[in-house]
Chain A
Amino acid sequence: MSVMRALPIKNPIVCRQDISFSHPSEHEFACILDFYGIEWRYEPTTFPLEWDKDGNVVEAFSPDFYLVQQDLYVELTTLRQKLMRFKHRKIRRLKELYPDVNVKLWNRKDYERFLERFGMEGRREELVGQEALKNHDA
């Protein structure tokens, strides 16, 4: 694979009210960023990670959030912990191909601590528990 092909793809900007978050934890995260006046984008960039022999992208990664002023991507993974190894591998690959990109991966524990920080332990089940998993699978 040629590193020359490793170019991020900019996704269309979606207005805040038209964003369809894939999980309630992402929606809550966005609300907290809004509360503190942090400028953010939702899945603004797709990073191709693997290509086939014809140069077609066969694996890519679109981190959930981009914090504009901080030049930081954040990926939230609050559901199945078995996905973490998969996500870690993607992020390792992303850092190999795009060394200047800053990205943080938050797992369920990170998100739970985040909820604790804002006194929202009571919403743990709704946002990262079985209820959220059920709703996400529906």
Chain B
Amino acid sequence: MPEAERDITQDVETVLFSEETLLRRIAELGAAISRDYADKDPLLIGVLSGVVVFMADLVRSITVPVTLDFMAISQYTSDSPSGTVRITKDLDHSITGRHVLFVEDVIDTGLTLNYLLRTLRTREPASIQVCVLFDRPYRRLIDVPLAYQGFELPDTFVVGYGLDAGGHYRNLPFVGVLKPDVRR
């Protein structure tokens, strides 16, 4: 079948979190954030690219005024030229004196989130909290306080709703496990 006609939902063996389950929990998170950040005009920050799916649904479930911003960072590769993280797209807004809510799709080791929070704290926000949709705590190296948390992921490779395999499957509306032959 031509690649353009292939239905990627057929690559999924098991659905772990349905679209309905995800949206219900995100609505709860949005309600909690709306309550906690009333009159604070928070700045929601996400790191491209995985977070865009979650961010799009989260901001629409928040009922108080918010501002939205994104940043991007280099990923580790064995031949990373600088040997350290580079911010490849910085924020468009200043965060000094702002209440920042850092929105992340998944936390695993905590290395990336820890780096980003350290970086953002140097810009002297009024406060900074973290909202994570998926927590994968099994290999946590750096403990990061999570103010808002959606689901704990099982210790298996999953895709969908922003989570990718080689850049694909982020657009699945649910989270699932790929069929073994697809993963290979």
Residues of chain A touching chain B, judged by Cβ–Cβ distance below 8 Å, are 28, 31-38, 67, 70, 72, 74, 104, 106, 110, 113-114, 116-120, 123
Interface stretch, picked from B88-96, B122-130, B139-147, is: B139-147
* Number of A-B contacts defined by CB within 8 Å: 59
A36 touches B108 (CB 8 A): no
Which B46-102 residues sit within 8 Å CB-CB of chain A? Answer: 75-78, 80, 83-85
- What is the chain A residue whose CB lies nearest that of B118? A37
Listed stretches B7-15, B23-31, B109-117; interface member: B109-117
Point out the residues of chain B lying under 8 angstroms from A38, CB to CB. Answer: 111, 114, 141-142
Contact, CB under 8 Å: B143 / A70? yes
- Closest CB pairs A-B (n = 7): A36-B111, A35-B76, A36-B115, A118-B76, A117-B108, A110-B139, A32-B76
- Distance of A123 Cα from B78 Cα, bound (Å): 9
Question: Quick one: which of A31, A117, A120, A123 contacts B109, CB cutoff 8 A?
Answer: A117
Residue of B84, B114, B157 near A35 (CB, 8 A) is B84
Task: State the CA gap A110–B19 with chains docked (Å).
Answer: 29
Among A36, A72, A114, A119, chain B packs the most CB atoms within 10 A around the CB of A36
Q: Which residue of B lies closest to A34 (CB)?
A: B83
A116 partner residues in chain B, CB cutoff 8 A: 157
Decide if A70 touches B141 in the complex (CB within 8 Å): yes
On whether A67 and B139 interact (CB within 8 A), knowing A35-B84, A37-B85, the answer reads no
**B155 on the interface (CB 8 Å rule)?**
yes
Contact A31 B118 (CB under 8 A): no
Complex Cα distance, B139 from A72, in Å, reads: 12
Interchain CA distance A10-B142 in the complex, whole Å:
23
Instruction: Write the residues of chain B forming the contact surface with A, with a CB cutoff of 8 angstroms.
Output: 75-78, 80, 83-85, 108-109, 111-112, 114-115, 118, 138-139, 141-143, 155, 157, 166
**B139 with A113: CB separation less than 8 A:** yes
Q: Do A37 and B109 have beta carbons less than 8 Å apart? A: no
Provide the bound-state CA to CA distance between A117 and B115, in Å: 16
Contact A74 B85 (CB under 8 A): no
30 pairs of residues in contact across A and B, judged by CB atoms under 8 Å:
A28-B78, A31-B76, A31-B78, A31-B83, A32-B76, A33-B111, A35-B80, A35-B84, A35-B85, A36-B84, A36-B112, A36-B114, A36-B115, A37-B84, A37-B85, A37-B118, A38-B111, A38-B141, A67-B141, A70-B141, A70-B142, A72-B141, A110-B138, A113-B155, A114-B109, A117-B109, A119-B75, A119-B77, A120-B77, A120-B78
Residue of A nearest to B157 (CB): A116
Could you tell me if B143 and A37 are in contact, using CB atoms closer than 8 angstroms?
no
Q: Are B141 and A74 in contact (CB under 8 A)?
A: yes
Rounded to whole Å, the gap between the CB of A19 and the closest CB of chain B is 15
Residues of A contacting B83 in the complex (Cβ-Cβ under 8 angstroms): 31, 34-35
